[in-house]
Structure 1
Amino acid sequence: MAVIRCLIVQFRLHCIQTTHMNTLSTVLDTMITPEQCRMARAALRLGVRELAEISGVSAMTISRFENEQSGGQAETLRKLEVALRAAGVEFLPANGGGPGVRLK
């Protein structure tokens, strides 16, 4: 089941990455926070290594970002956000209580 889910996510990621960059930039209007990354992984029941595989970002980089040991490069955060969106997460802006996530 995990292999099928990973293949579906990889296909969605490929589709998103091959879209026109202007369209992609409107979808990704803000960078994700470490909290959102952790929440998204928990909602999807993805481990750090699984997210690393589908996003193309190393597991160590993801761990450092989530633990706030690194702010993350813009390209790294974009890759994480694209992969998590492709897996079914919607990112919510701060609305008084801080930014969040939910499943689509």
Structure 2
Amino acid sequence: MTPAQCRAARALLDWSQQQLADTAGVGVVTVRQLEAGSSQPRRATMDVLRRALESAGIQFISQGDEAGGDGAALKP
């Protein structure tokens, strides 16, 4: 998950950074730093953030997918 994908996923869900942090069980500073690209969280932290978003209905799109680029979408 890229910083842009994280921001896009939150926007699709209409979640604040705090809501994502609370749902994933991480600090809001972690979400801020990830989205700003100022630090790369540990793999385990990235996993819980991604799972929180996917559980809420987000589907991540990677460059190899049909869409042609990285992104995030609501699951159909």
- Is 1:79 the counterpart of 2:56? The answer is no
Shift of 1:98: 2.8
- Is 1:67 the counterpart of 2:67? The answer is no
| SS of match in other structure, 1:102 | strand
Between the two proteins, the alignment pairs up a number of residues equal to 73
- Is 1:102 the counterpart of 2:69? The answer is no
Question: Residue in 2 aligned with 1:36?
Answer: 5
Misfit runs of 4+, over 3 Å? none
- Percent identity over the alignment is 38
Question: Residue in 2 aligned with 1:51?
Answer: 20
TM-score by length of 1: 0.66
Question: Residue in 1 aligned with 2:62?
Answer: 93
Shift of 1:72: 1.4
User: In 2, distance between residues paired with 1:102 and 1:94?
Assistant: 14
Give the structure with the higher percent helix. 1
Give the partner amino acid of 1:38: R
Give the partner amino acid of 2:8: M
CA RMSD of aligned residues (A): 1.3
Which structure would you say has the larger Rg? 1
| SS of match in other structure, 2:40 | coil
TM-score by length of 2: 0.90
Give the partner amino acid of 1:57: V
Shift of 1:97: 4.7
Give the partner amino acid of 1:69: S
